[in-house]
Chains A and B, each alone.
Chain A
Amino acid sequence: MPEGIAIFLNVLWQFITPGIIFDVLWSTQLGIIVGMLPGLTATMGVALMTTLTFHMEPSNAVLILVCMYVGAIYGGSRSAILLNIPGTPANAATAVDGNPLAKKGQAGRAIGIATTGSFLGSVIGMIMLAFFTPIIGDFALNFKSFEFFWLAMFGVVICGNLTAPKDPLKGWIAGFLGLFIATIGMEPNHAYPRFSFGSVAFSGGIHLIPAMVGAFGFAEIITVMKQPQAELVKTRLDRIFPRVRDILKYWKTIIRSGLVGTFVGAVPGVGEDIAAWASYDLAKRASKEADQFGKGSIEGLIASETGNNAAVAGAMIPVLSLAIPGSAPAAVLLAAMFIHGVRPGPLIMIEFPDFVYQVVAMVLLATTAMFVLGLSMVRPLVKVLAIPRQKLMPVVFVLCVIGSYAIQARLFDVGVMIVFGLLGYAMREMDYPIAPLVLGIILGKILDKNLIRALIISEGDIRFFFESPISIIIATITFITLFSKTRWFRTSVEAIKTLIRIKKK
């Protein structure tokens, strides 16, 4: 660990140059603007920025993407507070208490608290990122094909479960569809083009970035244009800098939300929105002022904003240690790292030992910039929210088209973006979550490669899939997640509980 701190400080010192500070400031500010505009999500911002930065030096490009990610997740709180529309899905819980505060004439106070909560959440997440990534990476070195197969299955199942809590079946279908999409194109063992129908473009497979730009960008444009225009809350901006007592009073909530946010963020594919709701829900349960939640509670606002920004760093833990994203923007970040020649995964501490600490330093710089810009650029940025959607959305779509095209200079990718946009919109309308679909596209390659390898090693003997303790643990959690929603499972659990109660008596 002391060696890690030394590497971190060294990397941080190397980052303190005028050029890099300038990059940090503009990309974080752009992230805040992207996040605060309904219709522009963090995923879309990071995906579009990936297309713009792929000519840059790897560390610079990843730094800009991290700043965009941190800024966008925070920026969404502005529209949540002032418009009652979360700028990104991660800020939905923020709107519950942020908007009532704005309506009471305390918009400035709400923005200040949201900024501080985001900052502290991000710092907690960053500490966890620095601490856990090397440990998980070392542990994952023991993973073989069987473990990676189960990890991919677990990712899709848990993501489906958590992003569609009312109807996990739809979440799982979306996840398995994503896994299937990943199998399109040339397979690695015999170079056979699957589901290509003679098309050279399909033989190359479905690239993640255009698919995500479509599913999160174009689908969002259609959704925003369908909805009626939102009204900006007419309120004066009072004192923005937060009062220290407001923050100190809720220190337990901040630490709890930071830890919960990081943990939820680290679960594959789940993301910042669930992290914010989980933190909010736990804060409400533990609060002495639970009746104030939903009416402009400072504690509720702090909990949701601390939770969602902690999840940003949390989502990077599995990205770096297992090459499995914790959220949709982290998935784009993972793809961008591969584009720039960095290979995250269990070997990262061997192949790129400094990179983990570089990412930690990037998160720290982005978080600091977010805090400074968040408290100092409030009034001019509120004007951005007044831009009518019909003026903004065509610009966004133009960027979606050129961004999808720019990565490989293929018109096919523009088609992919549009098809995934329409698919994503249809899925939203029918309550199918998009996150498992995207996670499936990423995990599909891991599942495909490791399932075939595992079947060859075991000669088709299923028992090998349940041989190692890690496989047994991941498989058990996967099956419990799958069956926990069935009636017979719940009846069995109730029966066991009753039996235990009778025995105790």
Chain B
Amino acid sequence: MPKADFLASITLIAFGVWVTVHAFNMPRFKKFGADPFSVPGIVPGILGTIITVLSLLVFIRSIRRKGYRLGLNAAVFKNTIQNPSFRRMLVTCLVCVTYGLGMVGYINYYLATFLYVFAFLILFQVDFSENIFIQRKTIIGSFVQAVLISGVVGAVFRYLFLVDLP
């Protein structure tokens, strides 16, 4: 955890400083006679400073615990990438982000949802090292489930909850 704390605290310090500087540069509306304590940057400025100070404490602690010794090398990367848990996490993120940010709103909702669910089911249920033909039941089942989910969810939100689908 000290390594993660080290990296996270650097990111948070940079973020806190950015928030503080940005808040400081916000307009103060002096020419409109605004009260100096009502300016837009005052609360974000205070919060940015607090985030910076707290992150600095985590940073100092991580340095004491030798978190700066990251030990990043090719072997660590290889082990991480080959780890099945990491792969499952990565595939989940990729498929979900692609659906949410790249498909919904850009192509027909029913089609986008069908493609997403089908891809998700295939990626997690089909063993690509085995003969695909043997797994045809799984593939057909995934196809049927994807059709049902996209149809039912879309119809329920469109006609029952009166939501204009993206």
Contact = CB atoms under 8 A, between A and B. Distances in A.
A1 interface: no
A397 B91 CA distance: 14
A456 interface: yes
B40 A180 contact: no
Given A189-B38, A402-B157, A430-B1, A411 B104 contact: yes
A119 to B, nearest CB: 32
A177 B11 CA distance: 13
A130 interface: no
Interface in A385-444: 390-391, 393-395, 397-399, 401-402, 405-406, 409, 411, 414-415, 417-418, 421-422, 429-432
Interface string A174-189: 0011011001000101
Q: On chain A, which size bracket covers the interface? A: 35 or more
Contacts of A397: 96, 99-100, 116, 120
A301 B68 CA distance: 44
A9 B43 CA distance: 45
A74 interface: no
Given A55-B161, A190-B29, A455 B42 contact: yes
A148 interface: no
Contacts of A405: 104, 163, 166
A173 interface: yes
A55 B124 CA distance: 36
Interface stretch (B48-56, B69-77, B129-137): B48-56
Nearest to B49: A176
Contacts of A456: 35, 37-38
Interface residues of B, number: 64
Contacts of B14: none
A165 B149 CA distance: 41
Contact of B93 (A394, A422, A430): A422
Which residue, of B61, B93, B100, has the highest number of chain A Cβ atoms within 10 A?
Answer: B100
Interface in A187-234: 187, 189-190, 192, 194-195, 218, 221-222, 225-228
Interface string B121-145: 1001100000000000000000001
B162 to A, nearest CB: 6
A455 B166 CA distance: 44
A221 B89 CA distance: 9
B38 A415 contact: no
Contacts of B54: 169, 172-173, 176
A395 B163 contact: no
B40 A394 contact: no
Given A226-B85, A394-B149, A395-B117, A176 B47 contact: yes
Interface in B89-127: 89, 91-93, 96-97, 99-101, 104-105, 113, 116-117, 120-121, 124-125
B153 A402 contact: yes
Contacts of A55: 161-162
B38 A452 contact: yes
B31 to A, nearest CB: 12
Given A183-B44, A430-B8, A455-B37, A398 B116 contact: yes
A448 interface: yes
B89 A180 contact: no
A353 interface: no
Given A390-B121, A391-B145, A451-B43, A430 B97 contact: no
A20 interface: no
A278 interface: no
B4 interface: yes
A222 B36 CA distance: 46
B66 interface: no
Interface string A30-68: 000000000000000000000110010000000000000
Contacts of B43: 183, 447-448, 451-452
Interface in B19-65: 19, 22-23, 26-27, 29, 34-44, 46-48, 50-51, 54-55, 57-58, 61
9 contacts: A55-B161, A169-B54, A173-B54, A194-B26, A221-B96, A390-B121, A402-B165, A414-B104, A451-B42
Q: 8 tightest CB-CB pairs across the interface, nearest first? A: A455-B37, A390-B124, A394-B120, A192-B40, A226-B89, A225-B92, A411-B105, A406-B163
